[in-house]
Amino acid sequence: MGPNPQMPPDVPERAVPEGDFRAADDVQDFLINIGPHHPGTHGVMRLVTRLDDEKVAGLDVRIGYMHRSLEKIVENRTYPQVIAFTDRTADYLAAMHNDWVYCLAAERLLGISVPERAEYLRVIVTEINRMASHLISIGALGLDTGAPTYFLWCFEARERLVRLLEEICGARLTYVYLRLGGVIYDAPPGWFERVRGALRSVIDEFPSYRKLFHDNYIWHERSKGISTLTPEEALRIGAQGPVLRSTGYRWDLRKDMPYSIYDRFDFDIPVGTTGDVYDRTEVRVDEMIESAKIIQQAIEDIPEGPFLADRIPRIPTPAPGEAYARLESPRGEIGCYLVSDGGPKPYRMKWRGASFHNVAMLPALAVGYTLSDLINIVGTLDPVMGDVDR
Amino acid sequence: MSGPAAPPTAGDSIVTPSATVSPSPTQAGKDRLLETLRTQLGAALIGYHDGDDGVVCVRVQFSGYRHAAEIVRAQGIDRLDFITCVDWRDHLTLTLQGYGVENRLQVRLSTRVARDGQEVPTVTDLWSLADWEERETYDQFGLVFAGHPDLRRLLNPDGWEGHPLRKDYVDRVSITRPQYF
C-alpha cells in the first residue's frame, strides 16, 4: 500500500504496521471465543467456536469454571448432611429434584421407606419446581432473542410458584426440604388451596405468552428449522429430557420407568415433531400444563398421616453396597450413584447431571448453524452450570 | 462392592421363567445378555448379581472389559448413565452403567483396574456420551483411556496437579473440615 494520494502530504503515516489485513481468499475459518462470562452461555461456560463464514464449523466446549467438587465434599459429610450440598452445588434451578434423586439413592442404600403423605408432598413440590424451572428456561430464551419483556413476565409467574415453596419450607432457591425418609415440614394450613390458585393464575397466562412471544414472527424466524433432530440421531447423541421429546420420541422416566408414585397419576407426555428450537420450547410449555395436572391430582389424593419416617438415626450407617437412582428433572435425567463402605459417610458419590450431558452434545447440535443460532441452541438446552461443573 | 457374587457354575440358571407367564422384555433381555456374556467372555466373566432396583451388576476381568461393553451395547443398552471410578486405595473399580430404552434393562458393568500404569480401552465408539464421562474420569482419577479421541482434563484446569477424587489426594488449599465424630 503506497501513500494515499487524497491525503495531504503532511499527515503522518498510519501507526498500524504495513500489511494486508484481509484474510486470504482460501482461508475461511477463524476462531471466536464466547465466554466464559457471556450472557448467552447462561453461566460460566466457554465456547471456542470455529466459524466458516457465519456458520459454526467446530465447537470446543470448555467447562469447569464453577467446579466445586461436590463429589469430594460429599465424601466428608454424613448422609443427612449431603442434602444441603446437592441442592446448592448441583442444578440449583431444580433443587427439589436433586434432593429427591439423592434421597432416592440414599434411602435405597439405607433401606428406609417413605410414608405415603411424604411421597405426595414430594411429587407436589418437585412438580412446582419443574414449572418454575421451565419458566426460567423459556423466559431466558426471550432474553437471548431480544424479548426481555417476556423474560420478566415468566419471572413474575415463577415468583408466584416460588412463593409457594417458600411458604412450605422457608427457602426460595435452595430448599433442603426433603429428608431421608420423608420431608421436613407438613403443608401449612390452606396451602393446597393456594397452590391451586397459583397454578390456575400461571396457566391462565399462557395464551398471553403465546401472543407476546411464541406466535411472534421474529421468534419463528429465529427458531423454526434450527438445529433439527430426528429421534434416531437424538438417541445416538444421548439426548434426553425435553430435547429428546421434542423430536417426537415419547420417553419420560416418570412414565416409562416410574419412580416413587408417578404410576398413580394420569398425565400425558408432550412431544414435538421436528426437534428444532421451536419445538423444544413448545414441549416445555406443554410440560408445565401436565405438571399442573399432576399437582391437581396429587392434592386431591393426598392422604393424612406422618410425613417423615420414624426412627431414622441421626447418623445412619448403611451396609457396604451401592445404589443408583435416576429421575426426570426439568433438563433430563439426573442420577446419583452412591457407594458405601459401611461407614457413616458415603465412600463415593457420582453425580450424573442432566446439563452435563446436554452440554456435551452441544457440538452435535450446533455445527452447521449460524453463530446467532448457537446462542438459541444453548438456550434450549437450558444448561445450569452448577449441574455441569458440580 | 456389595458382596462377592458367586461365579457361575455349570447348569446355573439365573431365573426360571414361569410356564404360564411369558417373560417380560426386561427379563428376556436379561437372560439373553447373561447367556451371551457367559458364552462369549468365558473366564473373563467374574460374576453377576441383581443389584438395587433390578440393576444387573456384572463384574468382569480387566481383560474382558471392552468385550463385555461391546456385548452390553449390542444387547440394546443404548443409554449411558455414567462411567466412573471408585478408589479402594489399593486398586480402582471402573464402573459403567446404562439401560436400554426398548427392554428397560439396566446393566452395571464393573472391573478392577490398577491405580497406575494400566490403560483402559475406550468405549466412546459405543456410547457418544462416554466421551465426557471418560474425560472426567481421567481428570478426577488419572485413569488413562486408550483410544479416546480427545483425552484432556475436563473439570480441573489443564495444569492441575494430581487427581482430586483419589483417596490419597492432598488438597493444598485444604478446606476439608475436621471429623466431628
Best of B26, B57, B84, B160 to disrupt the A interface (most A CBs within 10 Å) is B84
For the sheet containing A29-34, what is the strand order?
A: A29-34, A46-52, A55-62
* Confidence band, pLDDT 50/70/90 cuts, at residue A57: confident
Q: Verify whether the Cβ–Cβ distance B82 to A326 is below 8 Å.
A: no
Longest Cα–Cα distance in chain A: 94
Q: Verify whether the Cβ–Cβ distance B129 to A235 is below 8 Å.
A: no
Residue of B nearest to A344 (CA): B181
Per DSSP, A82 falls in state G
Instruction: Write out pLDDT tens, residues B12-56.
Output: 444 444 445 556 777 888 888 888 888 888 888 888 888 777 888
Give yes or no for a contact between A43 and A66, defined as CB atoms under 8 angstroms apart: yes
Count CB pairs under 8 A between chains A and B: 92
Cα(B19)–Cα(B170) distance, rounded to whole angstroms? 58
The 3-class SS string of A264-283 reads HCCCCCCCCCCCCHHHHHHH
Cβ neighbourhood burial of A11 (10 Å; 0-12, 13-18, 19+): exposed
Per DSSP, B46 falls in state E
Quick one: which of A321, A329, A349 has its CA closest to A82?
Answer: A349
Q: Verify whether the Cβ–Cβ distance B156 to A67 is below 8 Å.
A: yes
Q: Verify whether the Cβ–Cβ distance B2 to A322 is below 8 Å.
A: yes
- What count of other Cβ atoms lies within 10 Å of the Cβ of residue A272? 22
Looking at beta carbons, which residues of chain A come within 8 Å of B157? 64
Cα(A208)–Cα(A358) distance, rounded to whole angstroms? 30
Instruction: Write out pLDDT tens, residues A277-321.
Output: 899 999 999 999 999 999 999 999 899 888 888 888 888 888 888
Assess whether pLDDT exceeds 80 at residue A251: yes
What is the pTM (predicted TM-score) of this model?
0.84
Give yes or no for a contact between A43 and A385, defined as CB atoms under 8 angstroms apart: yes
Quick one: which of A34, A215, A36, A222 has its CA closest to A143?
Answer: A222
Per DSSP, A213 falls in state I
User: How much is the pLDDT for A51?
Assistant: 81
Q: Please name every residue paired with B121 in a beta bridge, in sequence order, or none if there are none.
A: B146
Contacts of residue A19, Cβ cutoff 8 Å, sequence gap at least 6 = none
Looking at beta carbons, which residues of chain B come within 8 Å of A251? 101
Give SS3 for A185: coil
Rounded to 5°, angle at Cα A259 from A112 and A200:
115
Give the lowest-confidence range in A73-87, B1-15, B154-168. B1-15
Helix A277-301 vs helix A371-381: crossing angle, to nearest 10: 10
Q: Is the peptide bond before A36 cis (omega within 30 degrees of 0)?
A: yes
User: How much is the pLDDT for B2?
Assistant: 45
Assess whether pLDDT exceeds 50 at residue A219: yes
* Confidence band, pLDDT 50/70/90 cuts, at residue A158: very high
Kind and range of the H or E run holding A195: helix A191-204
Summarize the confidence of residues A209-220 as an average pLDDT. Answer: 87
CA distances from A217 to A152, A220, A376 (A): 20, 5, 16
Cα(A52)–Cα(A57) distance, rounded to whole angstroms? 6
Q: Verify whether the Cβ–Cβ distance A64 to B1 is below 8 Å.
A: no
Give the lowest-confidence range in A49-58, A294-303, B83-92. A49-58
